[in-house]
Structure 1
Amino acid sequence: MIPLIIVFIIIILILAISYWAYRMAFFNPMEGRDNYYDLPPGEQYEPLWPRMTKMIDSMVETEFEEVYITSYDGKQLFGRYFHVSDDAPLEIQFHGYKSTALRDYCGGSKLAHRLGYNELLIDQRSHGRSDGSTITFGIKERRDCLSWINYAINRFGKDKRIILSGLSMGAATVLMVNDLKLPDNVIGIISDCPYSSPKAIIKKVCKDIGYPPTIAFPFIVLSAFIFGHFNIYESSPVNAVKCAKIPILLIHGDDDRFVPCDMSREIHNVRPDLIQFHTFPDAGHGISYLMNTERYEKLVEEFINNL
């Protein structure tokens, strides 16, 4: 009897720790999801707050069409469509982990508008006005990406040229979709500061906050499976780009203290034939555009013009 009690206690402890890990890593509550002005703190970001706030103000004031689709697993997903021209290419844009579309793309949207592209700016599942409460680090999000692509083709026609763009987790998402069958409409991908794999970034963050990765990570994997209903090993950017058939522009700040720049180097080294890789000196996570706007815009414009 005592051995059974001990086993039961161990199981309860494992489940309790796994649930705590799920809440920490993957759960995103509804409250505060649309706080566009929740800007990242720290010495790398605070000097940029006034400029970021002004750019977000511009995004908030810009008219858009509300768009809804249903995901492969029945969730309602929300997006904002910004129309420029019927004949223009469409850029589908994906924001980062526990962030907002209007914050992450306050610069990217400005650039797309200047270049004359239509935009479909997505609230990723479990963010903003989209359904869900579990973030899956690109595992399920990449299937949502494919759903948005198919929506665009059905709406705008089979000849519509589509560019995928992502920042941080969104950057990983648009790389991970390469291991699914992409329609020929997708002609290029812009990926700004992606991680190499969910495993790599989770282990890195565990180490940063003082949890031994070798101990914490197994509980995180278990929590994803039990409470999030996904397999963290199902896909990764570094593996998915092996299947890529279209050009990729990879951008990363070389002073990124959240997602190390070496993760993009690892991705680039897998497919140097298709991936253009550019680093931005002194740029932190997700702020390469703000640190050197002129160079960033030139790289993106040249990349798209050559597609």
Structure 2
Amino acid sequence: MVAPRRAASPGASPLLATAVKTTVGLLAGALTFTVAALGVVSLRVARRVVTPSPRVPDTRLVALDTAAQTVTLTRSADTALPGRYGLFVTGTEQYVKLGSVLSEDATTVKRKLLTHVTEGARLAPDAAFSGWYYARPEELHLPFTPELIGSPVGPCPAWLFPSEDASDTWVIQVHGRGTTRSECLRAVPVFHGLGLSTLIVSYRNDGEAPRSRTGTYALGATEWRDVDAAIGFARRRGATRIVLMGWSMGGAVVLQAALGSAHADAIVGIVLDSPVVDWRVVLDYQARLLHLPKPIPELAISALQSPWASRAAGSRSPIPFEALDVVARAGELRHPILVLHSDDDGFVPSDASHLLADARPDLVELEVFEVARHTKLWNYDQERWNETIRRWVAAHVLDTAPDPAA
């Protein structure tokens, strides 16, 4: 016997339809909110990337002992590094030099002060650990002159350290993001010892050179024109052979200058310390450090490449990330390149430097460091850093490499 069929409730279908519509509406609303939130975060990240910002404290001063001339800092991968460094502080001192680590535990590091701090000095707890070491050109005890270089945005301050014998080979050094010319002072003595003049330059929006209309970075896409002006300055002063050196973002600036300069025929080599070779690699790495959702760096880059979204991010013009990817443009390179990079950089990963060396082994020599952090290779192992540069310059610039058979 067949059981009788139960009649459907007359309200079942409308109720189900209403539930489905409500669920779909909630999901659509959640999706819209998520997309909007990702868009807002990506624009904030994009703006942060291109906006020059003041130095951010990255350690705290736990104790200052003026009798023993020591300072105790909170422990980090940077503050525990061997070598000589600097510390930006506020109070009765603005910048002090630091020597070797004297003692350490799980949370703090005690280091020797190499700048004498007088009894009664007051320093605020917030501080910034630095690889600068030298803060002013006078500290090198080498002759130098302040210069002004006429660039497309106006006069850019520079320091010129002439060689003793008026060499026609000049090194032009370019500092990184969020810092100034003083970052480059560490490299002057090694080049001076090789008989080369060194010109340390500034560029638009770095706090010393003139401001562009937007006051934002273009990550090398426009800053290279100020370096190109510096090359022209050097040539008018008698330079016929130019070595470009870039630190961090300065590496991206230098590479763009080498690829786009009208003076490319005068460039004989490039030295890069902890360089940005591909910004997409850097932004992806930084997003992971900040535990941002995976789409954020890609969305931020898309915003900075977009004519309308780049304005919302503070940049007047789109930034051409494809052109800034020197791994992809490796076939266009013409000059020998020395790259010094730490696999423990902690800020600009060395991945793109490795890829560049793999792409152009005929031109690129990569000197890999470990333990040393971002732009702190000189501080960590000054002897190795200097000797690597001396050997490379002798082989590729001065052409006076020693005979291996000798």
Change in 2 beyond 3 A, CA 1:259/1:61: same
Give the distance between the partners of 1:98 and 1:235, measured in 2 at CA.
19
Equivalent in the alignment of 2:50: 26
User: Which residue identity lines up with residue 42 of structure 1 in the other structure?
Assistant: S
Change in 2 beyond 3 A, CA 1:71/1:217: farther
Q: How does 1:195-234 map to 2 (within 5 A)?
A: 195-223=276-304, 225-226=310-311, 227-228=314-315, 229-233=317-321, 234=323
- Deviations 1:49-71 (CA, angstroms, capped at 9, x unpaired): 31597641563445632222343
Give the distance between the partners of 2:220 and 2:237, measured in 1 at CA.
25
Equivalent in the alignment of 1:241: 330
Equivalent in the alignment of 1:42: 76
| 2:51 counterpart SS class | coil
Identical aligned residues as a percent: 23
1:59 to 2:137 alignment: yes
1:174 to 2:254 alignment: yes
User: Which residue identity lines up with residue 59 of structure 1 in the other structure?
Assistant: P
Give the distance between the partners of 2:42 and 2:138, measured in 1 at CA.
38
2:168 touches 2:238 (CA, 8 Å); kept in 1? no
Name the one with the larger helix percent: 1
Give the greater-gyration-radius structure (CA). Answer: 2
1:105 to 2:184 alignment: yes
Give the distance between the partners of 1:125 and 1:42, measured in 2 at CA.
32
Measured on the aligned residues, the alpha-carbon RMSD in Å equals: 3.1
Give the distance between the partners of 2:154 and 2:39, measured in 1 at CA.
27
Give the distance between the partners of 1:279 and 1:13, measured in 2 at CA.
40
User: Which residue identity lines up with residue 143 of structure 1 in the other structure?
Assistant: R
1:68 aligned residue (124, 148, 160): 148
2:216 aligned residue (122, 130, 134): 134
- Deviations 1:176-202 (CA, angstroms, capped at 9, x unpaired): 333214432211100111123122212
Instruction: Report deviation, 1:142.
Output: 2.3
Instruction: Report deviation, 1:235.
Output: 2.3
Change in 2 beyond 3 A, CA 1:290/1:14: closer
- Highest relative contact order (Cα 8 Å, sep 6+), 1 or 2? 1
184-193 vs 284-293, greater mean Cα deviation: 284-293
* TM-score with structure 2 setting the length: 0.63
Change in 2 beyond 3 A, CA 1:268/1:166: same
Equivalent in the alignment of 2:370: 281
Give the distance between the partners of 2:295 and 2:42, measured in 1 at CA.
14
Give the distance between the partners of 1:198 and 1:134, measured in 2 at CA.
16
Give the distance between the partners of 1:215 and 1:187, measured in 2 at CA.
39
Change in 2 beyond 3 A, CA 1:171/1:42: farther
Give the distance between the partners of 1:15 and 1:211, measured in 2 at CA.
13
